[in-house]
Structure 1
């Protein structure tokens, strides 16, 4: 069961913030045919949620991307989708202008083809997008990715607190460790925040060193993790089958 202080987030029939961390698989195919094929394959997998990384799609016109969300929904009507545009400065594949970023994600909210959106917490349009999503009753994952380092426990705690105060439904933090102590710091920050923040957290240490953080969320308080079913969308992502095996090995007994 989820801690009483945590407001869980329900995406279709998947409850984030309760029980074993949910497994999210990203779609990164550059063309429509391969994207839809991968989506159909995922329907036969145990992935809980699908994330479409729209920044990896070859045709980046907003009209094309919005049409793809409609096709994805038709292909996988009963599987939750997260719509994500990861900008270049956050490790993504699109050097997108600020206005285009806001307009595209706002349009996807209005279209209601996706089940949640990712909003980069440091983006200048973040507050506007969160307000737009609230009007459309669209859950928001407020995210921050640091590919240059990890920072102290207190810095990561402050980051998660700041994201939470923005009014999002889920707070996500990904950092890049340079030593084992960095991974331990990320896990410590997660456990600390999970004890009192009112929303589910998704945290991870990226790269080879951080792999343990991708399977130990139930212990430390991360409510979801990312796994591959094809190409990875971030360093250190593990194959879906390996993540599920790791989660089973570390699963806590029910009360």
Structure 2
């Protein structure tokens, strides 16, 4: 198989869906994996069966992830140019108002889903020259964000995991990177019953299509963190340059 390939979790909607379409339009073979079977079927029909494969997968289940990777490898001659860890969940409200099981689910999907993805894909990535791992992180990994406390904490994990593996896997020819956007206008954001103050102030200005273009860039370069928008880059710079101001900035902007 000569065309390049990408393995996408959370592919049935939002960022995952738009990323799949963006890569498919550029003649990549796309692996679509999600818990939403109807969404996968619809997307696969749109892309075309000759250019994609799909499988229902819960990223928090390592055995299911292993089976998904084996299935993908059968279609790509055991090659994977890009792993896109996109699957994630968010529950927006004050910590005490969110059911305990929802906090647990966020940890299982947002943390273990990424760990499972990387671990399950590592052999096939090592078998592919100049492979990339791209993970969805978040601007909430700059400083702990009120009203999305557990989600924010899971994204701190993704940031640290990315930085560590970027160093570890460099010698194996694998680039590890993440995306750290503000709110993206997806169903996950629009379906929240409670809107945190930072969402009210910043809004969900980024589109899934814009993020898909950044995934493409991240899959072809070596930068560790991708921070969209000048506004967010400025806030990131201020937080890094004056760490003692982190809490003050968060109170102002959340």
- Considering the TM-score relative to the shorter chain, is it more than 0.5? no
Compare CA radii of gyration and give the structure with the larger one: 2
Structure having the higher helix fraction is 2
TM category, shorter: 0.3 to 0.5
For normalisation by structure 1, the TM-score amounts to: 0.37
Q: Which has the higher strand share?
A: 1
Normalising by structure 2, report the TM-score.
0.37
